[in-house]
Amino acid sequence: EVLYLPRPSLICMSMATSNAAYPLKFNIISKCGTTAARTAKMQLPHATVDTPVFMPVGTKGSLKALTTDELSKLGCRIMLGNTYHLGCRPGPEILSSSGGLHGYMHWPHALLTDSGGFQMVSLSKLCNIDEGGVTFTSPYNGTELRLTPEESIRIQNGIGADIMMQLDDVVHSSTTGPRVKEAMERSIRWLDRCLAANARPTQQCLFPIVQGGLDSDLRIQSLDALASRDVAGFAIGGLSGGEAKSTFWRIVKLCTERLPAGKPRYLMGVGLPLDLVVCVALGVDMFDCVLPTRTARFGVALVPEGQLQLKKRQFETDLRPIDDRCSCPCCTGGYSRAYLATLLKEDGVTLGCSLLTAHNVAYMLNLMSEMRQSLVDGKFSEFVRHFFRLQYPNPTDYPEWAVEALKSVGVSLLSGEDVKKSSCNVDGSGDVEVK
Amino acid sequence: IMRFTVSASSGRARLGHLALSGGPDHPVAMATPGYLIYNRCGSDPHLPQSPAGILLTPLNHWLDKLALLRQAGNLRQLCRLRPDRQLLLSLTDHLDYYPTPGVTAQHVGLPTRSGKAPLTVELQAELTLLTSPELVQPLADCEIREGDGRKRARKSVDRSLAFYDRFTTALEQQGGLGGGGPALMASWVGGYSAEERLRCLRELESRGADGLVVEGFRYYNQPVEDFRLAQCESVLTEALQQQQRSQPPRPLYFPGLVHPADIIRAAELGFDLFDGSLPALLTRRGLAWLTSATGGSWWLHVGDVELLTATDRPLDPGCCCRCCRQFSLSYLAHLSLSNEILASILLMEHNSARLAAFFNELRSAIESAESLGGLATKYAAAVVPPTAAVAPLANDQARLKDDEA
C-alpha cells in the first residue's frame, strides 16, 4: 500500500483581518523601561514567532544534521533558506511544484529567504554589477548567470518563504568612497523593482535592506527612503563584515532609532551571543547566523560561559554533560563531553554532529527566550548584567564596545545601576564616555 | 543468560528464537535467521538511536579509547544505551579492512584509527567486565591470507582454542562467568582446511561454547563486498552436517556476508545470525536498497541530478519508512547532491527498514517451507558493487570544507 502522498502547500495560517497589504502582524507585548529592547508576537502565514528571535540557517534546505521534527521540538518557529543555493539547485520550478520549500523539506513553521545577493558577491569568482542586476559565474557548473531584482523575487516566490529579502547592491563594509553611495541609492531603486515583482504579496512579505556602509549620512538617506515604503519590516544590512565593533553598534543604533517602532527590525548575519544581547538592547528584533550550526561541525559547544572545544584533549575523559543547566536533548540525554568528542572524531558517524547542533541551536533559542521573559518581567537590565558576568568573570574583560553600547541605552554594566541614556554619534562624539 | 530454541526447519534452514535475559525487566528475544545491529562506538552510523536488538560491539573501536572506557566504568552508560539494547562484544568491525598482521601466542592485533592495537586475554577480560555484554566473542586467531595452507590453519585453531581457554579462566577469576556472565560465542576458525574446521568445531563443542562465530575466511585486506560465500562454502559442508546434529542447538553466526543472496544461501546451510552492516555499507555510498529491482538494479544511487525532477514520488513506493512517507525522491537527491548530513540520516532509515523487511521475507519463506532457492534467484542480482564503482556520499572531511559563505 502506497502511503506516500505528494505534499501540497501546507495549510497557511489564516490571517485575521489585517489592515496592511502584507501577511505580517507585529504586536509589541512589552518594552524595556530603560533600553530600546522590546518583545513582540509576529504573526506570519506559517507560524506566530515570538521576538526577539534567533533564526537558524538551513542553507540548502536542511539544518545540517537535524530533522525538521527535532528542530521543531527545540522550539524553533522560523528558519532561513539561502536563495542562491536553492535557486541553483533544485531551482524554483521544482520547489514550487513541491509546495514550496515548506513542502519540499517538510517544515511546517515559518521561513525567511535572503535575496541571493550576498553569496553571489562572496562566492563567485567574477561578478559584474550594473543597474540591471548582477552577472556572475556559478561555482556549481561554471555557467554565467544573471541575477536581477525580478529574478531574485521570482526564485523567492518559488521557494515560498513567509519573509523575502530585497535584492540589494551589496558592498563589503570595508568599502569606502563613491561606490557606497552608488550601492545605497541603487538598492532603493531595486527595492521598488522587487516590490513590483512580488507575485504573491498576500502570502509572502518583502523586507527592504538598509545600506550605506559605515557612513551615517548615507545610512540616514537609506533609512528615510525605506521607511517611506509600505512594507512589513526592515532589515539592516552591510554589517557583520568584520568592521570595528565600535562603529558597528553605532550604525545599528542609528538604524533602530530611525526605523518605525511598530515594525520588526532584522539585523542580518548577526551573530555571537554577545552581539545578540547588545543588539536586542539597541532595539533589534530578528537575527540569523550560521554560528551554532557551523561551530557544531567543528566540535564546538556553546555554553553561557563561552565555548567548549570538545575535540581538545582536556575533554577526553570529561564525563559531564555539556551544560547541566541546559534542557536540550543532548544534555538531558546524559551524553557526556567525552563521549560526544568520541562520536565527533569517529568517521562516518553523524550522531555527534546531530547532538551538538541540537545543543547549540537550543542554546541560542534559549538565550532569546530568556531575554523575552526578562522583558516581560521588566528585568532586562538585570539579565544583561547577569549574562556578562557569566561570559566574563573578570569585569575588566568586558569588551569596550559592548560597555559603551549598553551605556548609550541606559545600562551601566560596571556600576550595576541603570544610567541616564545618552546620545552619541557614529564617529564617537557625544555624551558617551570612552574609557 | 541465553536460550536458543529451534521451532521449525525447512531443509537445513531453521527458524529459531534467541532469548537473552537483560535483567528481569528487559528480556530481549529475536527471531532467527536474524541480524545483529551494526554500530560504531555505541551509535548507529546515522540514526539517533540504534534500532532495538543485539548491538554488534567490536572491540577494535574501543582499543584506542581505553582511558575513557575505564574512566566511565560502564560502556552502556557512556553510550547512553537503552536497557533493551543487548550487546555482542566482538573483535573487529567487518566493514573495516583487516590491516593487521600480528597474531602471536599472547595477543591479537586489532585495527584502530591510530594503527594496530594489541588485545590480550587479560585486557579482553577487563573490557568484558566494563561492558557487561550478554554475548562475548573470545579473542581468536582469525587472520588468513590467500594461499595459506593446512599448517597455518592448524596453528590458528590451536591458538584460538588456547585463547578461548585462557579467556574463560580469566573471566572466572574476575568473577565474570556463571549465572550472570555473558554467553560465549566462540570463533570457529581453521582457514580453508575442512579437517581443521571439523577439528575446531569438535573442540569447541566439547568446551560447551554457547554459540559459534565463523571467522578466518575473508582474506587479509579483502574488501567486504568482494567476499562471497561460494569462496568458502565447500570447506564447511562436512562440519555443518556434524553441527546440525548437536543438541542443544547453538546459534551459528556468520559475519561479513553482505550480499543478500549469500545471506539466503547461508541460512539454507543452517546459519542463524548475520551482521546487519549492509545498510551502513550502502548508505555510506549513497545507495538505496529498493523494495523491488528497478531497471535491473536493486540499488538506486540517490545523488543523481536526473532524480531532482522526481517531485511526485518517494524514494521507494513500496516502503513505509519515514524517509519514504515524508519526502520526495527529489528532496533526497537534492540533499545528497548538496552533501547534506540529513541525506545519510534519511537513507539509513530507509536501508535499515529494507534490511528488516528482507529478513522478514527470509523467515517467512522458511516458515512456509518454501525452497529458499526461489528467494536466492530473486536476489541473485543484488550484488553490492565494489567501492571504486560508486561515487560515495562526501565523507566528513569534504563536508567540513564545504562551508557556506
Q: What ranges in A346-391 are assigned the alpha helix state H? A: 351-376, 380-391
Residues B254 and B205 in one domain: yes
Predicted confidence band of residue B11 (pLDDT cuts 50, 70, 90): confident
Same domain, B379 and B232: no
Instruction: Check whether residue B380 and residue B270 sit in a common domain.
Output: no
Query: Considering the domain boundaries, does residue A403 fall inside one?
Result: no
In angstroms, the Cα distances linking A277 to A51, A403, A404 are 13, 12, 13
pLDDT(B371) > 80: no
- Residues A261 and A340 grouped into a single domain: no
Least CB-CB distance to B313: which of A4, A90, A122? Answer: A4
Residue A17 lies in a domain: no
pLDDT at B136: 96
Task: State whether B226 and B353 are in the same domain.
Answer: no
CB contact under 8 Å between B40 and A349, yes or no, is: yes
Domain that holds residue B150: 2-276
Looking at A272, A290, A308, the residue that finishes a domain is A290
Q: Which residue has the higher pLDDT, A425 or B263?
A: B263
Give the residue numbers of A annotated as catalytic, written as ranges: 114, 288
Q: What is the pTM of this model?
A: 0.92
Q: Is residue A332 part of a domain?
A: yes
Which pLDDT does position A20 carry in this prediction? Answer: 61
How do residues B40-99 score in pLDDT, each as one tens digit? 999 999 998 888 889 999 999 999 999 999 999 999 999 999 888 899 999 999 887 655
Name the nearest CA neighbour of A15 among A40, A41, A39, A48: A48
Q: CB of A140 within 8 Å of any CB in chain B?
A: no
Higher pLDDT, A239 or A49: A49
CA distance B385 to A197: 50
Cα-trace Rg, chain A: 22
Domain boundary among B246, B276, B306: B276
pLDDT of residue B395: 46
Residues A57 and A120 in one domain: yes
Same domain? A309 vs A286: no
- Sign of the torsion angle spanned by Cα atoms A132, A135, A140, A142: positive
Provide the residue range defining the domain that includes A158. 25-290
Last residue of a domain, one of A271, A290, A309: A290
Residues A322, A229 share a domain: no
pLDDT digit string (tens) for A5-35? Answer: 444 444 444 443 344 679 999 999 999 999 9
Residues A103 and A7: their CA atoms lie apart, in Å, by 6
Q: Are residues B15 and B87 both part of a single domain?
A: yes
Structural domains counted in chain A: 2
Note the pLDDT of residue B25.
61
Q: Residue range A190-200: average pLDDT?
A: 97
Q: Is the peptide bond before A52 cis (omega within 30 degrees of 0)?
A: yes
Place B353 in a pLDDT band, splitting at 50, 70 and 90. very high
Q: What is the ipTM of this complex?
A: 0.92
For A301-319, letters b (16+ CB in 10 Å) and e give bbbbeeebebeeeebbbbb
* Structural domain includes residue A218: yes
CATH number for position B177 = 3.20.20.105
Of the residues B292, B311, B335, B350, the best mutation for testing chain A's interface (the one with the most A CB atoms within 10 Å of its CB) is B311
B311 vs A94: CB contact, 8 Å cut-off? yes
Q: Are residues B241 and B325 in the same domain?
A: no
CB atoms within 10 A of CB A432: 17
CATH number of the domain to which A109 belongs: 3.20.20.105
Please indicate whether, in this complex, the C-beta atoms of A353 and B341 are within 8 angstroms of each other. Answer: yes
Residue B131 and residue B157 in one domain? yes
The residue-averaged pLDDT of B117-143 equals 94
In this structure, the answer to whether residues B207 and B305 fall within a common structural domain is: no
pLDDT, position A419: 64
What is the SS3 assignment for A412?
Answer: coil
Distances (CA, A) of A405 to A26, A36, A408: 26, 11, 5
Rounded CA separation B72/B88 (Å): 19
Residue type, A407: K
Residues B242, B318, single domain; the answer is no
Q: Higher-confidence residue: A222 or B371?
A: A222
Same domain? A231 vs A204: yes
Contact B344 A350 (CB under 8 A): yes
Q: Rounded mean pLDDT of chain A?
A: 90
At which of B276, B293, B321 does a domain end?
B276
**Same structural domain, A246 and A335:** no
Summary count for chain A: helices (H), strands (E): 16, 17
Number of domains in chain B: 2
Residues of A numbered 167-186 whose beta carbons fall under 8 angstroms of chain B's beta carbons: which are they?
none
Judge if B136 and B112 occupy the same domain.
yes
The 3-state DSSP class for residue B177 equals coil
Closest residue in A to B403 (Cα) is A294
Look at residue A94 and tell me if it is in a domain.
Answer: yes
Query: How far is the alpha carbon of B94 from chain A, nearest alpha carbon, in Å?
Result: 14
CA angle A153, A265, A368 (to 5 degrees): 115
Whether residue B108 is found in the same domain as residue B172? yes
* Same domain, residue pair B121 and B235: yes
